[in-house]
């Protein structure tokens, strides 16, 4: 049996190499650290056979490695010992995950009343929760104020008066203001949120951020604790974060000079990139933490400011590499141009390839094949030509209906973005730990879909 090494401090998306070690492409480098390969193609995650999980829970099924999630939370706490670490619930949230994150000392950032209520159902401390969103509904704000969230991040000028009015006379709510610092960073144009001319935040360049800050400081119901920004997602370079620090510290200095207020917090969001396929780049968390601390100290010293408390919001980097999606092959179609391998899931449980051109590396499990590899396109079951899960990937040429495929790095932005397109129910989530498996989220059934349809 081949056992993959467990590392105490993985970088975001891949395990570090020893000094001087060569860098071959490890086909398991993007799998959970507990992954083990046994004879006859049997693959274990968290000590549990993926094949057996497919048999007992059906397919598609999502497997979440609890040990990997917890280890990545601890890695963030170690890299940023004095910072606030808030897990971005939009990546994926269920009650068990909220419980793990809370136990590991992280906070939470949420974007809706639904995410907030689910976290509250686990007993998650409300004062460790931040509420985000460019268009917060009245229900979002009412729920946040009722539960007593720690921070509300103001994203538009209209929210200032709305939140102040909702807080009411005699009340006080801590808020931050989201700033757009004019930095383009991220893996795809649809997930770049720090640049100008987009729906998020208040522009630093045109003065909207400064004007909003002045209005917030005039509201006795609001306590401005700091500046927030989020540059985008799948960022693998440290430099954009350093530029953001310099620009936002400059803004904090102007707030002090203009209003006599020293803001105690700086939230740089998340977007920490991970590798989805072997050999892809990822953001080195240790380097990020070291250089952020240095840049923040230097910029604050130059501006004559005390160093604010740093906040970061990792989502994908915590749960993405901890998840594995398991599908069953339904059909194989060979054409002169390519071979299509169709599975029993698709864009309803993973829309990322269709939305962002995301690339994955599925693997045959459950049997050992001696056939030569073949370049194939793994497609879903939905009525869309764009329902592609993995394009131009290598699988054994004898792949056939009934085979099982497992796709790593499936723990973020799969089920959180899932739908019931074609009225196909969403898959279950099963947690694995130390050879045991337990159901976290059950499969969405036909009865569930019928129950929502109340008209005739």
Query: Residue 212's CB: how many other CB atoms inside 10 A?
Result: 23
Contacts of 320 (CB under 8 A, 6+ apart): 13, 91, 274, 276, 409, 410, 411, 412, 413
DSSP state string for 203-230: ESSSSHHHHHHHHHHT-TTEEEEEEE--
- Helix or strand or coil: residue 312? strand
**Annotated catalytic, 383?**
yes
- What are residue 262's phi and psi, to 5 degrees? -105, 115
CA distance linking residue 325 with residue 323, whole number of Å? 7
CB distance 381 to 333 below 8 Å: no
Mark the binding-site residues for pyridoxal 5'-phosphate, compressed into ranges: 271, 313-316, 413
Binding site membership for substrate: which residues? 316, 352, 356, 384, 413
d(CA 47, CA 429): 16
Binding positions: 271, 313-316, 352, 356, 384, 413
Read off the tokens for 281.
Answer: 């780049």
| Active-site hit among 73, 111, 229, 383 | 383
Q: What is the distance between the alpha carbons of residues 183 and 192, in angstroms, rounded to a whole number?
A: 9
Single out the residue of 139, 277, 248, 130 nearest to residue 183, CA to CA: 248
Active site residues: 383
């Amino acid at each position: 049996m081949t056992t993959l090494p467990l590392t105490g401090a993985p970088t975001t998306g891949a395990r570090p190499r020893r000094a001087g070690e060569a860098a071959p492409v490890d086909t398991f480098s993007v799998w959970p650290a507990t992954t083990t390969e046994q004879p006859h193609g049997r693959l274990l995650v968290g000590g549990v056979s993926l094949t057996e999980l497919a048999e007992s829970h059906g397919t598609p099924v999502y497997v979440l490695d609890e040990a990997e999630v917890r280890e990545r939370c601890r890695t963030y706490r170690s890299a940023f010992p004095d910072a606030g670490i808030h897990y971005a619930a939009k990546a994926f949230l269920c009650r068990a995950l909220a419980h793990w994150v809370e136990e590991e000392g992280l906070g939470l950032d949420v974007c809706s009343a639904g995410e907030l209520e689910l976290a509250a159902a686990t007993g998650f401390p409300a004062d460790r929760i931040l509420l985000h969103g460019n268009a917060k509904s009245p229900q979002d704000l009412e729920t946040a104020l009722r539960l007593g969230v720690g921070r509300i991040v103001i994203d538009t000028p209209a929210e200032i008066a709305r939140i102040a009015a909702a807080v009411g006379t005699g009340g006080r709510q801590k808020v931050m203001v989201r700033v757009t610092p004019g930095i383009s960073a991220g893996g795809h144009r649809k997930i770049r949120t720090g640049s100008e001319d987009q729906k998020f935040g208040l522009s630093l360049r045109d003065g909207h951020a400064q004007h909003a800050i002045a209005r917030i400081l005039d509201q006795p119901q609001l306590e401005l604790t700091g500046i927030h920004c989020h540059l985008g997602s799948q960022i693998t370079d440290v430099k954009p974060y350093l530029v953001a620090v310099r620009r936002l510290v400059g803004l904090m200095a102007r707030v002090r000079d203009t209003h006599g207020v020293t803001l105690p917090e700086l939230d740089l969001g998340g977007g920490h990139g991970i590798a989805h396929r072997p050999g892809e780049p990822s953001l080195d968390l240790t380097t990020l933490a070291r250089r952020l601390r240095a840049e923040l100290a230097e910029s604050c010293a130059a501006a004559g400011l005390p160093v604010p408390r740093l906040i970061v919001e990792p989502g994908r980097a915590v749960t993405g590499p901890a998840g594995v999606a398991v599908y069953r092959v339904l059909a194989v179609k060979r054409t002169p141009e390519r071979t299509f391998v169709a599975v029993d899931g698709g864009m309803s449980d993973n829309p990322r390839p269709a939305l962002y051109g995301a690339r994955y590396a599925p693997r045959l499990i459950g049997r050992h094949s001696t056939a030569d590899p073949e370049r194939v396109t793994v497609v879903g079951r939905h009525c869309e030509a764009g329902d592609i899960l993995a394009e131009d990937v290598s699988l054994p040429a004898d792949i056939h209906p009934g085979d099982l495929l497992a796709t790593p790095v499936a723990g973020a932005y799969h089920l959180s973005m899932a739908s019931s397109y074609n009225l196909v129910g969403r898959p279950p989530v099963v947690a694995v730990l130390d050879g045991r498996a337990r159901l976290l989220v059950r499969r969405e059934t036909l009865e569930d879909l019928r129950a929502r349809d109340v008209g005739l």
